[in-house]
Structure 1
Amino acid sequence: MTAQMPDGSDTHPIGVEEQQTRIRPMRVEIVMFAALTVFFTLCGVVYAAVADFESVGTVGFLLLGGMNGFIAFYLWLTARTTDAAARWEDDPHAEIADRAGDIGQFAPQSWWPLVLGVAATLGFLGIAAGWWITGLGLVVALVGVAGQMYEFNRGIHAH
């Protein structure tokens, strides 16, 4: 069935225009993780055949495929319930300015992320060198988290 355009010059099948303008949310993410699922599963099968069914690598590749499959399935379920207009990233006619606005509140000159980085370094060093260093890293991490949480509650940033 066809319909005539308002000026009478052209006809097109009914429903084609609606299909072309329909926005499918999270399509890029779903396709990407589904492709990674297929890729890692195939890598696991090929690795199993080539490496004479070596257990660690084969299981690792197959688990990677499975984890990507879980993410793709979750995104597919979420896309079914998400309003297409809710995400500007899915609109093919969106402008960069559509996403403008507040993203969050960030400290301009904060030293607490450095403290947390030192804490993570001490934690991983403790696993390699000695478990007592991990305890020291945990203490530094608690100080760093508390400092970052209460950063805006003192000084010129006090509420």
Structure 2
Amino acid sequence: MKAETWIFAITTIFLVLVTPSYWFITGAGETGADWTGTSALTMTGLLTLMVTLYLGFHARKMEPRPEDKLDGEIADGAGELGFFPPYSWWPLWAAATLGVMVFGLAMAAWWLFIIGGVLGALATCGLVFEYYRGEHAH
């Protein structure tokens, strides 16, 4: 994970350098300054800093992966890589119920929002518990 840490660290340094420059170029605190862009760059810099610290902390605690070693071979990375879930229809239904809820809010149709909420709870339960029954049960 050291390579990923360095990528995010370089991005953080870039954003730390660009944010004050952007603020100065767009008006430096004047009434017409672009505070939206400056705020977005500041928050993006803080986000990349958070990811950098997280990856750096975990990179020190775990043993290096084959791609992190200078003398690593392709065969060192062979074997099981982890669990990859199969297809699922539940995210589609969860997204559809969220769409119904947002549409209900936009049209001030509270009855539609409530129906979407109930169906959304069912879709969320189906998504959470899909590996406990059926073809892919553990």
TM-score calculated relative to the size of structure 1: 0.63
Deviations 1:35-73 (A, max 9, x none): 111222222112101111332221221221122112212
Aligned partner (choices 70, 80, 85) of residue 60 of structure 2 = 80
The one-letter code matched in structure 2 to 1:139 is V
Say which structure, 1 or 2, has more relative contact order (CA 8 Å, 6+ apart).
2
Q: Quote the residue 1:142 is aligned against.
A: 121
Q: What is the rounded CA distance, in whole Å, between the counterparts of 1:147 and 1:100 in structure 2?
A: 31
Number of residue pairs the alignment of both structures matches: 131
Alignment of 1:92-107 (within 5 A): 92=70, 93-95=72-74, 98-101=77-80, 103-104=82-83, 106-107=85-86
Contact conserved, 1:40 with 1:64, CA < 8 A, in 2? yes
Deviations 1:116-152 (A, max 9, x none): 2212333444565447355443322211122233334
The one-letter code matched in structure 1 to 2:39 is V
Q: Quote the residue 1:71 is aligned against.
A: 51
Matched, 1:119 2:97: yes
Q: Which runs of 5+ in 1 are unaligned?
A: 1-25
Structure 2 vs 1, CA of residues 74 and 149 (structure 1 numbering), >3 Å: closer, same or farther? closer
Q: Identity of aligned pairs, percent? A: 27
Q: What is the rounded CA distance, in whole Å, between the counterparts of 1:77 and 1:95 in structure 2?
A: 26
Q: What is the rounded CA distance, in whole Å, between the counterparts of 1:42 and 1:127 in structure 2?
A: 41
Structure 2 vs 1, CA of residues 96 and 60 (structure 1 numbering), >3 Å: closer, same or farther? farther
Matched, 1:62 2:37: no
Once superposed, what is the RMSD of the aligned Cα atoms? 3.0
Q: What is the rounded CA distance, in whole Å, between the counterparts of 1:77 and 1:158 in structure 2?
A: 35
The one-letter code matched in structure 2 to 1:83 is E
Q: What is the rounded CA distance, in whole Å, between the counterparts of 2:78 and 2:103 in structure 1?
A: 41
Larger radius of gyration: 1
Contact conserved, 1:41 with 1:64, CA < 8 A, in 2? no
Q: Quote the residue 1:38 is aligned against.
A: 13
TM-score calculated relative to the size of structure 2: 0.70
Structure 2 vs 1, CA of residues 49 and 81 (structure 1 numbering), >3 Å: closer, same or farther? same
Q: Which runs of 5+ in 2 are unaligned?
A: 29-33
